[in-house]
């Protein structure tokens, strides 16, 4: 009996800690259409987990996450890498094999807001106006791009990494 009680308490403590460090995630869900200003999230495509912080430096502090996953891309809501950001961690660097190696459907509050992008991990970024890589895409964005251009500005709903 005693070990089980201890275990339950430990779980409660962990839940409380998680709730304390991810205020942005809760606020984004409650807020609806767009991320809160100055919310910096990291999305782990291996697990589907998203965690948000108050600065980009916090969101990208680990070149590799706890699973060893690498940063593949950062998306920004404003031009010139401003506003809120969404950093994608994936299982490995992209290969230059002519196909999209990774794809991400953006959460609802990150749809139709992306204005600038930074590729990492050897990836090129493709932006799509519909979920599941649907619609007429733009890219590849091979380098830091302070303005994704009129075709895809505030229209991205899914992202391909190649």
**Is the Cβ–Cβ distance between 117 and 76 less than 8 Å?**
yes
- Which of 72, 84, 85, 115 binds Ca ion (CB under 5 A)? It is 115
Scored b (16 or more CB within 10 A) or e, 50-75 reads bbbbeebeebbeeeebeeebbbbbbb
> Does an H or E element contain 51, and which?
strand 49-53
- Which of 34, 39, 74, 77 binds Ca ion (CB under 5 A)? It is 77
Determine the interface stretch with Ca ion among 14-22, 40-48, 91-99, 153-161 (rule: CB under 5 A).
Answer: 153-161
Q: Which position's Cβ is nearest Ca ion?
A: 115
**Is the Cβ–Cβ distance between 53 and 84 less than 8 Å?**
no
Question: Which CB atom, from 83 or from 90, has the smaller least distance to Ca ion?
Answer: 83
Q: What does the alpha-carbon distance between residue 93 and residue 71 come to, in Å, rounded to a whole number?
A: 8
The CA angle 143-51-137, to the nearest 5 degrees, is 35
Determine the interface stretch with Ca ion among 2-10, 22-30, 105-113, 143-151 (rule: CB under 5 A).
Answer: 105-113
Question: Which CB atom, from 76 or from 90, has the smaller least distance to Ca ion?
Answer: 76
Helix (H, G, I), strand (E, B) or coil at 36: coil
Residues in 43-62 at the binding interface with Ca ion, rule: CB under 5 A:
none
Q: If binding is defined by CB under 5 A, does position 154 make contact with Ca ion?
A: yes
- Return the bridge partners of 159, or none: 104, 127
Closest approach of Cβ 63 to Ca ion, in Å? 27
Question: Which CB atom, from 39 or from 77, has the smaller least distance to Ca ion?
Answer: 77
Question: Which CB atom, from 88 or from 152, has the smaller least distance to Ca ion?
Answer: 152
Q: If binding is defined by CB under 5 A, does position 157 make contact with Ca ion?
A: no
**Is the Cβ–Cβ distance between 139 and 126 less than 8 Å?**
yes
Question: Which CB atom, from 77 or from 162, has the smaller least distance to Ca ion?
Answer: 77
Biggest alpha carbon–alpha carbon distance for the chain: 63
Q: Which residues sit at the interface with Ca ion, rule CB under 5 A? A: 77, 113, 115, 154
């Amino acid at each position: 009996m005693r070990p089980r009680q201890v275990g339950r308490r430990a779980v409660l403590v962990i839940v409380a800690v998680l709730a304390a460090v991810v205020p942005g995630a809760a606020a984004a869900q409650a807020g609806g259409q767009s991320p809160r200003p100055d919310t910096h999230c990291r999305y782990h495509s291996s697990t589907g987990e998203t965690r948000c912080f108050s600065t980009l430096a916090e969101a990208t502090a680990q070149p590799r996450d706890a699973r060893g996953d690498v940063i593949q891309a950062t998306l920004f809501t404003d031009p010139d890498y401003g506003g809120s950001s969404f950093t994608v961690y994936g299982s490995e660097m992209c290969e230059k094999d002519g196909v999209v190696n990774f794809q991400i459907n953006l959460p609802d509050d990150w749809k139709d807001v992306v204005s600038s992008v930074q590729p990492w991990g050897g990836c090129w970024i493709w932006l799509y106006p519909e979920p599941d890589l649907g619609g007429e895409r733009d890219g590849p964005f091979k380098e830091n791009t302070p303005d994704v251009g009129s075709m895809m500005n505030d229209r991205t709903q899914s992202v391909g990494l190649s």
